[in-house]
């Protein structure tokens, strides 16, 4: 073999070795680039999974902030859709670029949907806050009105009480006298055969005019009533009376005299007289007798 041929053969071998070395280098570099690409895809896939999981949590939080059934149904639907996409992403291999790209687009759509829900719930919350403030104001107005009504009722009741007090009859100049059998004043109980009670119904233009029933009670020193056999209503109970008389009252001072016959033996001591009209005690007096 000539030197020329040998040199040519050596040159060919060197070229082949260089080509193989370059090819090996290129393949190694491509593998490194592919590995780096897969690692980036894996990181991207993990970030997408985290974001999908975050959306699922946000939907749960949103559901606690709304009372609207329609909005609640939409949140449930989107939360379910988010969970389905998350499961799809977890099943997708990292070298399936087309599927990962699709899920990334779905994620972008989910972001827009989430933003719209946030804006809607924020708007509803502001509206609810405004309505709550208005309701609170209405409640305050209602309380104020109720207080005003209560005050007016109290004033009316007070006025009614004052009118009732003002219109109440009043017995004045009350005098009880014991009379003997000849109709003369008696000083001792053994001589008393009849009691005479005289008084005036005072002038009162606010009292209702018309017929009035006057009840007179005469009480012995033992607090027993010298009874005429009847009773009348007074403060949710019935009281015995000694004498009853109907008079016509026109608002002007009206004198009244009544008599009570005695059919029993009286004892010495203080005798009291109580006068009632219109369910009220309108006057009282007393007298003492010797034995």
What's the mean per-residue pLDDT of the chain? 80
Output the CA torsion sign for 130, 135, 141, 143. Answer: negative
Return the higher-pLDDT residue of 29 and 205: 205
Q: List, for residues 275-289, the tens digit of each pLDDT value.
A: 999 989 999 999 998
Are 195 and 227 in contact by the 8 Å Cβ rule? The answer is no
Q: What tens digit of pLDDT does each residue of 230-257 get?
A: 899 998 899 999 999 999 999 899 999 9
pLDDT over 80 (residue 17): no
pTM of the model: 0.49
pLDDT digits (tens, 9 = 90+) for 153-189: 777 666 555 555 667 889 999 999 999 999 999 989 8
Three-state SS for 34?
Answer: helix
pLDDT band at 264 (very low <50, low <70, confident <90, very high): confident
Best CA proximity match to 62, nearest among 51, 73, 47, 49: 73
Q: What is the mean pLDDT of residues 22-43?
A: 53
CA dihedral in degrees (227, 231, 233, 234; nearest 10)?
10
Cβ proximity of 254 and 152 under 8 Å:
no
pLDDT for residue 28 = 47
Report the alpha-carbon distance of residue 119 to residue 122 in Å, rounded: 5
């Amino acid at each position: 073999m000539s030197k020329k041929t040998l040199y040519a053969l050596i040159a060919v071998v060197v070229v082949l070795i260089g080509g193989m070395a370059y090819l090996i280098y290129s393949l190694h570099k491509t593998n490194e680039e592919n590995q780096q690409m897969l690692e980036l895809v894996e990181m991207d896939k993990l970030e997408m999974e985290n974001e999908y999981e975050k959306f699922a949590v946000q939907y749960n939080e949103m559901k606690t902030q709304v009372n609207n059934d329609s909005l609640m149904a939409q949140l449930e639907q989107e939360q379910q859709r988010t969970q389905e996409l998350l499961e799809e992403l977890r099943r997708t291999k990292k070298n399936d670029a087309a599927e990962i790209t699709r899920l990334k687009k779905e994620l972008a759509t989910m972001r827009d949907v989430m933003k719209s829900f946030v804006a809607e719930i924020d708007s509803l919350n502001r509206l609810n806050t405004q309505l709550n403030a208005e309701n609170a104001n209405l409640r305050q107005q209602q309380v104020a009105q109720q207080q005003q009504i209560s005050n007016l009722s109290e004033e009316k009741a007070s006025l009614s009480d004052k009118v009732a007090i003002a219109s109440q009859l009043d017995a004045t100049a009350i005098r009880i006298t014991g009379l003997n059998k000849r109709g003369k004043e008696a000083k001792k109980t053994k001589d008393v055969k009849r009691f005479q009670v005289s008084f005036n119904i005072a002038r009162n233009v606010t009292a209702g005019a018309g017929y009035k029933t006057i009840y007179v009670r005469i009480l012995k020193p033992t607090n027993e009533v010298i009874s005429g056999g009847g009773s009348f209503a007074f403060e949710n109970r019935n009281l015995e009376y000694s004498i009853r008389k109907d008079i016509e009252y026109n608002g002007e001072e009206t004198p009244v005299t009544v008599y009570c016959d005695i059919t029993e033996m009286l004892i010495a001591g203080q005798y009291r007289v109580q006068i009632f009209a219109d369910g009220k005690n309108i006057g009282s007096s007393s007298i003492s007798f010797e034995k």
